[in-house]
Amino acid sequence: MTSPDAKLEKGIEDAARIILERNYLVAMVGAGMSVESGIPPFRGSGGLWTKVGEPDNRGYQRFLEDPVAHWRNILNPEDMEGPRAEFRDAIESARPNPGHYSLVELEEMDVLKYIITQNVDGLHLDAGNKRVAEIHGNRNKLRCIGCNARWMRSEWDINVDNLPPRCPECGDLVKGDGVAFGEPIPRDVLNICYRESVACDSMIIIGTSAVVYPAAAFPQEAAMRGATLIEINTDDTPLTRMCELVLRGPSGQILPALAERIRAISEDIGR
Ligand code: APR
């Protein structure tokens, strides 16, 4: 009987070899990646939606109907206590964890070509990754809904006297870059996600429940084109059965071990 640790260790070794036998690794990332940075996930144990329920798909419609009310709630949130307030505090104080830094190492080794992340926490950029598509946006940025111009939130002085903020480029409404429920994914970032899913021949799927689209479609798109899928998750997901390898455990522990094996094997084979 193989012990779970020995099974995981062999899985990490096999994953490192599979990744190095291929040429274009992309990572598809979800909230599980940031759990070890102290940010709760959305679903499953301790999830924000598990606690307060999944939001409806009208968030974007409500923004369009009353952008001033939307911004007033951003500037002075109604719920200063409870799971949403705790989530805001957690994401505000979060820092990259060893899993994030392992993806930086893999990008610097030119093994990891791109990250498609559903996370809005900005931790991949904070850790130092450069090639990152933030499919659900970035909480530290603003975006014009008309021309997709983006700015760092810190560059703007938005207050209740100058709402709603408008784009200096085209005059349309400006909102947080985070994609609201019911909001289309901005075309520029969607095109990158599609391009990278088509280009990859291996994909590590890290910490996502794979139930939100279009993000959950990209691993399936990659697999249909012959890419090898490797899942890193504490639990099964709808994608598990499509994966060549399943590394069951926390990404903050598995990714450093995976990066270490990739580096060691690369040196052995002189890659
Ligand atoms: N390491 C790896 N995986 C983990 C860890 C961990 N330490 N902790 C939890 N997980 C896994 C869970 O098993 C689950 O499969 O991470 C996944 C988290 O799933 P969700 O909370 O649904 O997050 P995600 O898949 O990113 O959600 C997608 O839904 O609400 C929207 O916009 C939100 O981007 C989010 C999208």
pLDDT in tens, 54-78: 999 999 999 999 999 999 999 999 8
Closest by alpha carbon to 95, among 60, 63, 131, 123? 123
SS3 label, residue 248: strand
SS3 label, residue 178: coil
pLDDT digits over 128-183, tens only?
999 999 999 999 999 999 999 999 999 999 999 999 999 999 999 999 999 999 99
Cβ–ligand 1 distance for 91 under 6 Å, the answer no
pLDDT tops 90 at residue 270: no
DSSP state of 78: S
Distance 161 CA to ligand 1 centre (A): 37
Burial track 25-48 (b if 16+ CB lie within 10 A, e otherwise): bbbbbbbbbbbbbebbbbbbeebb
Structure tokens at 261: 């094996």
Measured CA to CA, the distance from residue 197 to residue 199 in angstroms comes to 6
- Which residue do the tokens 């109907």 mark? 65
Closest by alpha carbon to 120, among 143, 139, 107, 103? 139
Q: What pLDDT score was predicted for residue 1?
A: 62
Q: Average pLDDT of 220-243? A: 98
- What is the radius of gyration, based on Cα positions, of the chain? 19
Mutation pick for ligand 1 pocket among 42, 251, 258 (CB with most ligand atoms within 8 Å) = 42
pLDDT digits over 87-142, tens only?
999 999 999 999 999 999 999 999 999 999 999 999 999 999 999 999 999 999 99
Give this prediction's pTM.
Answer: 0.97
Q: Is 270 exposed, middle or buried (0-12, 13-18, 19+ CB in 10 A)?
A: exposed
Residues in Cβ contact with 24 at an 8 Å cutoff, skipping those fewer than 6 apart: 113, 199, 200, 201, 202
- Contact present, 138 and 147 (Cβ < 8 Å): no
Closest by alpha carbon to 265, among 8, 5, 98, 15? 15
Q: What pLDDT score was predicted for residue 2?
A: 65
Residues marked active site are found at 136
Cβ–ligand 1 distance for 209 under 6 Å, the answer yes
Angle, vertex CA 119, rays to CA 62 and CA 242, nearest 5: 110
Residues in Cβ contact with 83 at an 8 Å cutoff, skipping those fewer than 6 apart: 40, 48, 51, 52
Q: Whose CA is nearest to atom 14 of ligand 1?
A: 209
What's at 270, amino acid-wise?
G
CB atoms within 10 A of CB 170: 12
Pairing of strands 132-134, 112-117: parallel
Distance 38 CA to ligand 1 centre (A): 13
Enumerate the β-bridge partners of residue 245.
230
- Spatial strand order in the sheet of 141-144: 150-152, 141-144, 174-176
Alpha carbons within 13 A on the beta-carbon side of 235: 11
